[in-house]
Structure 1
Amino acid sequence: MDALPDTLPDAPGERLRIASYNIRKCLGTDRRRNPERTMRVIKRTAAEIAVLQEADRRLGDRPAALTPEVIAQASDYTPLPIAKNHVSLGWHGNAILVRPWIELEDLHHLDLPSFEPRGAVAADLRRDGQLLRVVGVHLGLRTPDRLRQLGAISDWLATQTRLPTLILGDFNEWSATAPLAPLKPDFNVLAPGPSFHARLRLAPLDRIAHCDLWEPARTGMLDEGEALRASDHLPIWGEFRLPG
C-alpha cells in the first residue's frame, strides 16, 4: 500500500485527497473513548475532505463525540455546519471536515428510507475554483434498506446540477462484489480494503463511489498505529483527479 504523507499538506495538490471514517463515537477497540486520538487518526489520512460516521452520541440530543473544540485544538480542519442543533457535530451521525481552502457553497440533508432512522448529507464545495459535490452516507444494516437508500440518493442527484460527485461512507455492505445496482451506471464503487473490523479485517464496509467526471488515482486504508485501536473501523482514503 502506498505510504501517506507524514504531515498535512498546506495547499491543494493536483489530486483531491478524501477520506471516510466511521469513528464509532470515538470509542476504541480498547474500550477507551478518546476524541484526541480519533482526531490524530483523521489527520494521519492527510485528507482535504474527511467524511465521518457516528460522529455524535446516540441518546438524547445526540451531543458530539468529536467536538469542534477538539478539532480546532488539534488541526486546521473546519466542520461543515451540518448539525440541526447546538450540540451535535453532524446529522444522523454524518459529519464532514474540510481543510481551509475548501469552501462551502451549499448543504443538503437527505432523509433516507429505512427500518431505522437514516440520513445522508451532501455538500457542494469549491476547491481551487472548481465546484464539486461530496455525499456522506451511513447506510442501513439490511440489504433492502441499503438499496432503497442508494436509490433515493441517486434520484436526488438526478434533480441537481451535475457536478463532479463522490459518495463515501459506511455502506454496511459485507460483499466485496455486491453490484449496488441503484448507483449504476452513473457511479463506480471502490472498496479500498477490509476496513471492518479494525483488528480482524472481515469486510470492506467502507467505500467510495465516484461519477465519471472523476479519474481515480489510488485508494487505500490507514491500517497502522493508532488507527488499529481508535475505532472498530479503519479509515479509507482516495485520491481523484478531474480529466484534462
Structure 2
Amino acid sequence: MNNRTQLRVASYNIRKAVGLDWRRDAERIVRVLHEIDADVVVLQESDKRVGQRSGVLPAAQLQNDLGYVMADLSIRPRSHGWHGNAIFYRQNALDLKQANRIHLPTLEPRGAVAARFAQPGVEVIGVHLGLTRRIRARQLSALRAYMERADHPVLMAGDFNIWARGGPAGDLLGQETEMVLPGNSFHAARPTAPLDRFVLRGNIRQVSSHVHHSALAAKASDHLPVVIDAEVSHACT
C-alpha cells in the first residue's frame, strides 16, 4: 500500500531581478511567485555576481507575505544560495532535513544546490548548467552519480541551458530518470527554447507541468518560470 503526497515546484531564472525593461524590480519577482503559489521555488541568478554577491530578493517579504524561507546554502552572508542558486520553501508545509551544495565540473562560478525534506520525503536539487555542451555533459554525469547515491525520490529543477528538445541529456542521467520539458521558457519576449526543465528519479511522478505565462512574468526576467505538480509515493508497512 502507498501513501501519496502532491508537491508543486517552480524553477525560475530571475536574471538578478532585472526585467526586460532593464529595471531591477524584486517586487515584480515576488508577485510572479505569488501567482505560481508553489511549495518549493528553485531560483537561478538570485544574487549579484560582483562585490559581496548580495541577494536581490526581499527575504523578509517572501516569508511574511508568501510563507517562504530560504534553505541555508550561502557561504557569503548577503548571498541568496550558492552561485546564484537558491531554494525557497514553505516552512509550514515542509520539514527541511538537510541542505547542501553540490560541486560540479565547471569553467565558470556555477554549481548545484540541494534541499532534502523529511516531509514529504523528497530531495529537490537546483541547477544552472554551463553554456558549452562538453561542460554540461560532465555536469550531468556528476549529477547522475549524486542522484544514484540517493535512497529517496529526487526532483531536479533549473536552467539546463539545453536548447534542443531531444539530445543526449536524458541518456547522461540514466534510464532511472525522467526528464520533463514543460515547454519553451526562453526568451520571455518570444519563447522558443526549453532551457528550463525538471528531472525526476525514484518514487515520484509528474502529474502536470507548464510554463507560467502571465503579463507580469513576460516582463520580470528574460526567462519564464516553469512549474511541475508532482506526486511522491510512500511505501506503507
Q: Note whether the superposition's TM-score is higher than 0.5.
A: yes
| Corresponding letter in the other structure for 1:104 | L
1:190-209 CA deviation, whole Å, 9 max, x = no partner?
11011000011120000000
Structure 1 segment 139-178 matched on structure 2, within 5 A? 139-159=129-149, 161-178=150-167
Q: Which amino acid aligns with 1:59?
A: V
Q: Take 2:163 and 2:131, find their aligned partners in 1: how far apart are those partners?
A: 10
CA distance in 1, matches of 2:218, 2:64: 23
User: Does structure 2 retain, via aligned residues, the 8 Å contact 1:52–1:94?
Assistant: yes
Structure 2 contact 144–174 (Cα < 8 Å) conserved: no
Q: Please state how far the C-alpha of 1:169 moved relative to its aligned partner.
A: 0.2
Q: Distance in 2 between matches of 1:157 and 1:103?
A: 20
Q: CA offsets per residue over residues 142-181 of structure 1, 9 Å max, x none?
A: 011111101111112233x411100110000000112312
Aligned CA distance change for structure 1 residues 86 and 243 (closer, same or farther; 3 Å): closer
Pairing partner for 1:185 from 161, 175, 196: 175
Q: Does 1:109 align with 2:98?
A: no
Amino acid in structure 1 at the alignment position of 2:18: L
What's the offset of the Cα at 1:96? 0.5
Letter in 1 for 2:211: M
Aligned counterpart, 1:59: 50
1:16-165 alignment, distance < 5 Å:
16-99=7-90, 100-127=92-119, 130-159=120-149, 161-165=150-154
Aligned 8 A contact 2:152 2:202 in 1: no
Rounded to whole Å, the distance in 2 between the matches of 1:35 and 1:194 is: 23
Find the residue that maps to 2:121 and give its secondary structure. Answer: strand
Gaps of 5+ in 1: 1-12
Please list the CA deviations of residues 86-108 of structure 1 after superposition, one character each: whole Å capped at 9, or x if unmatched: 10011010001101211110111
* RMSD between aligned residues: 1.5
| Structure 2: gaps spanning 5 or more residues | none
- Percent identity between matched residues is 38
SS across alignment from 1:144 = helix
Structure 1 residue 242 displacement after superposition: 2.6
Q: TM (normalized to structure 2)? A: 0.92
Aligned to 1:238, which of 217, 220, 228?
228
In 1, distance between residues paired with 2:220 and 2:125? Answer: 24
Once residues 170 and 141 of structure 1 are traced to their aligned partners in structure 2, the CA distance between those partners, rounded to angstroms, is 10
Q: Give yes or no for contact 2:185–2:191 (8 Å, CA) kept in 1.
A: yes
Secondary structure (helix, strand or coil) at the match of 1:177 reads coil
TM-score (norm 1): 0.90
Distance in 1 between residues matched to 2:233 and 2:100, nearest whole Å: 26
Kindly indicate whether the alpha-carbon contact (under 8 Å) linking 1:35 and 1:70 is maintained by their aligned counterparts in 2: no
Q: Which structure has more RCO (C-alpha within 8 Å, separation ≥ 6)? A: 2
